[in-house]
Amino acid sequence: MPVDPHPPSAAIAALGAGALSDALGRGELRSVEVVDALIGRIHALDAPETPTALRAVLEVSERALAEAASSDTRRAHGAALGPLDGVPVLVKDNIEVEGLASCAGATALVDRPVPADASLVSSLRDAGLVVLGATNLSEWANIRSEHSTSGWSALGGLCGNPWSLGRSAGGSSSGAAAAVAAGFAPLAIGTETDGSIVCPSSLCGVAGLKPAVGSVSRTGVVPISASQDSPGPIARSAADVALLLGALFGASLERADASELRLGVARTWMTGHGATDAAFEQAITALAHELGSLADREPPSPGEQEHEDELTVMLCELSDGIDAYLARRGGEGPASFAQVVEFQAAHADVELAHFGQDLFERALSLGGRGGTAYGPARERNLAWARSACLEPTFEGLDVLLAPAWGPAWKSDLVLGDPGSPASPACRPAAIAGWPIATVPIALVEGLPVGVALVARPGGEAALVALAAAMERAVGLLEDGSLSPAWAPPARG
């Protein structure tokens, strides 16, 4: 059985957000006690010099204990509290938080204080959540190079996976998913452009949800793609994802009945990894016992044209988006995307030590959304994702299911990501801006694998309901299987 390497904080670390909130409400715990224990856990397990170092947390907030004390005071005075008041949350480092560096892992943004909390962070604070700190990520949300190593940033180093320390935590919300899995916080906020919440959540054995594009504010978030970026919740259960999503939305998430949902299985979206696909088949069989039969569908998979069009769109939107972001943020340092590229080239010993910035350079050459490549690429991409893929597949359906990723691959700073077999499910949902979620369904060779759940815009409640039904069907939460093993790096 897995052994928690830091027992003094194990009891608190094991609590999900809902259970923690209940304990706070009953007076069994104080928020200050929880936050102090989790900060101690991070220092004990995540410091670079420790053998268990994940490098999942970039920075702990100096204000966290004061925020926790404020929550305890509100509770003691009988104030009306939301369901997450006093509960800690970690925030990906590409999201602005007052008092934190918020650098997207890049040295180009160091020493440029953020002007204010990102809008979504204000929503978290309005709900009473305690911002515990910032998580490591794949630098610039993994858009810098086609030869990158997921989970690496110049500021944070290489994030590991608590299931096996030499394996990848995925990207780009690497630290957010690894930190939740490791019990550093019950909740985290990631961002997704194409798979950046679903991938690390699947690899780390936690639940994650990318809401429909535009449903959560991106003001104060370092951008990649205006048409695809979406911040979203990561937690250890679908119920906790729903609570955090409600805080992001500013209202409790509506309830949906999983038994009333019309479900389909994307038979053409398997991973090609035998054990992962077999685990998916077992999971949907178990789900069918609870909810009834699922219809088979055969959506098209993206080809080279779809990949190139999406990449063109993202790179054109990236250069424009970073220009606008830097103008808003101010401070000393690069004032444009072109200057960021120059800065990183000038500091290649730090920034380009393991891989280059070929995608940044290509983005500069494309000329942004005003260039000739952008319009046709976006038009083709949308036509494929919506008209040729999702809309025909979703006729008569509410949610489409597929496996997500195979088991976590070994991290390699020399050769970059070898990757893991994956379903194509994230790509059409990314291009079209539709919501997508994941929860763990099995352990394969001791590593977690998840399911991908796709819904139409506005279908987040359906995703949460189905994710919870899947959790019940496979039983991993109940039997304690989702406890990371903290296995040291090994051959094979």
Residue 179 sits at φ, ψ, to 5 deg, of -65, -40
Task: Taking residues 438-466, report their average pLDDT.
Answer: 98
Which runs of consecutive H residues, i.e. helices, occur in 127-268? 139-142, 174-182, 198-204, 238-249
Q: What would the two tokens of residue 37 be?
A: 């224990």
pLDDT higher than threshold 50 for residue 1 = no
Q: Is-catalytic flag, 225?
A: no
Please state which CATH number belongs to domain 7-301+391-474: 3.90.1300.10
Catalytic choice (92, 148, 173, 201): 92
**pLDDT of res. 491:** 87
- Full-model pTM: 0.98
Tens digits of residue pLDDT in 204-238 = 999 999 999 999 999 999 999 999 999 999 999 99
**pLDDT of res. 338:** 98
Residue 2 — pLDDT band, cuts 50, 70, 90? Answer: very low
Alpha-carbon distance of 347 to 365, in angstroms, equals 21
Q: Is-catalytic flag, 172?
A: yes
pLDDT higher than threshold 70 for residue 240 = yes
Alpha-carbon distance of 344 to 358, in angstroms, equals 12
Distances in Å between the Cα of 181 and the Cα atoms of 29, 435, 448 are 22, 22, 11
Query: For the chain, what are the domain ranges?
Result: 7-301+391-474
Alpha-carbon distance of 438 to 195, in angstroms, equals 10
Catalytic choice (9, 168, 172, 173): 172
Task: Taking residues 161-180, report their average pLDDT.
Answer: 98
Q: Is-catalytic flag, 210?
A: no
Q: In this structure, are residues 209 and 455 in contact, taking their beta carbons and an 8 Å threshold?
A: no
Alpha-carbon distance of 439 to 234, in angstroms, equals 10
Task: Taking residues 89-107, report their average pLDDT.
Answer: 98
Residue 492 — pLDDT band, cuts 50, 70, 90? Answer: confident
Catalytic choice (71, 153, 196, 227): 196
Alpha-carbon distance of 391 to 400, in angstroms, equals 11
pLDDT higher than threshold 90 for residue 440 = yes
Q: In this structure, are residues 460 and 435 in contact, taking their beta carbons and an 8 Å threshold?
A: yes
